[in-house]
Amino acid sequence: MWNSYGTVEYWNARYQSDPEAFEWFQSYKGIAHLLSPNHLTPNRPFSIEKENTVPTFPSKTKARVLIVGCGNSRFGEDMLKDGWLGGITNIDFSNVVIDAMKTRFENSDFLCKIETKLKRATNNKSNIVSTKDPVNTTPKGKVGFAGRSPFMEFECVDITLGLPYKNETYDLIICKGTMDAILCSPAAGSNVSVMMNECSRVLKKTGSMLVVSYGSPENRLQYFENRENEWWSGGIGVYRIPKPSVNGVPSKG
């Protein structure tokens, strides 16, 4: 079973048979406290109790986000609802789930409401350029473009084969369970190494990457260390998060 988690055939079959949204490991609510712009500022000690006072990480309305291995999670949707309007790119190697997510969000009522709100805010500011994805640009003064949202994009990408984005494109990368799944694949070590090198390449030097995993810190930290570049020099923090409650009973894990 575990070996199947690293294959696209397994995930395509799973998403075809069970299209309902599913949240791996943690919901946005469960880790939102780790995503404050102050907490994400590189080169400063992380503290949940006392936030950094001079943040360099951009505000939620400007930060560009890449979600690696999005599946049919509502994580990106919940980020949007919480004001992350700088543009969220969701990638997964399953074309089945990417097609399904595109269909879901093309007609999403809440996205329409967000776009309407932004239009009103920028109606008299002709110099404002709306958010854009790594490939498509939005004309100056316009919000959105035909059939797509400027806030949320879905693309079928196998990260172990590289990312089709330019260097230093994103401010924040979310990897929730994807590293664990890749470690179940053949050539697991080299595949994770490609993923981490690609993430460091497309991440801005002032950016941050959040990895949510069931693996022990001793096992996972090796994939951050000894990178070919120094883009993790802002520091690596390890935080234990309680597992979500089951049937209203908080987990002790």
Structural domain that includes position 20: 2-28+57-223
Q: Which of 89, 139, 87, 141 is nearest to 114 (CA)?
A: 87
Q: Which two tokens stand for residue 67?
A: 């979600």
Question: What CATH code is carried by the domain that includes residue 14?
Answer: 3.40.50.150
Number of domains in the chain: 1
pLDDT at 227 over 70: no
Q: For residue 240, what pLDDT band results from cuts at 50, 70 and 90?
A: confident
Cα separation, 12 vs 205, whole angstroms? 35
Residue 39: CA count within 13 A, CB half-sphere: 16
Confirm whether 162 is domain-assigned: yes
Confirm whether 96 is domain-assigned: yes
Confirm whether 219 is domain-assigned: yes
Confirm whether 238 is domain-assigned: no
Confirm whether 88 is domain-assigned: yes
pLDDT at 107 over 60: yes
Q: How confident is the model at residue 72, as a pLDDT?
A: 94
Cα separation, 111 vs 127, whole angstroms? 23
Confirm whether 48 is domain-assigned: no
Other CB atoms within a 10 A radius of the CB of residue 116 amount to 12
Q: For residue 39, what pLDDT band results from cuts at 50, 70 and 90?
A: confident
DSSP 205-221: EEEEEEEE-SS-HHHHG
pLDDT at 135 over 50: no
List Cβ<8 Å contacts ≥24 apart for 21-25: 21/72, 21/73, 21/74, 22/71, 22/72, 22/73, 23/73, 23/74, 23/75, 23/244, 24/71, 24/73, 24/176, 24/177, 25/176, 25/177, 25/212, 25/213, 25/214
Start-to-end Cα distance in the chain: 22
Q: Which two tokens stand for residue 7?
A: 């294959």
Cα separation, 235 vs 44, whole angstroms? 8
Cα separation, 62 vs 173, whole angstroms? 14
Confirm whether 237 is domain-assigned: no
Confirm whether 46 is domain-assigned: no
This prediction has a pTM of: 0.79
Q: For residue 112, what pLDDT band results from cuts at 50, 70 and 90?
A: confident
Query: Which helix (H) or strand (E) covers residue 8, if one does?
Result: helix 8-17
Least confident of 71-75, 102-106, 132-136, 245-249: 132-136
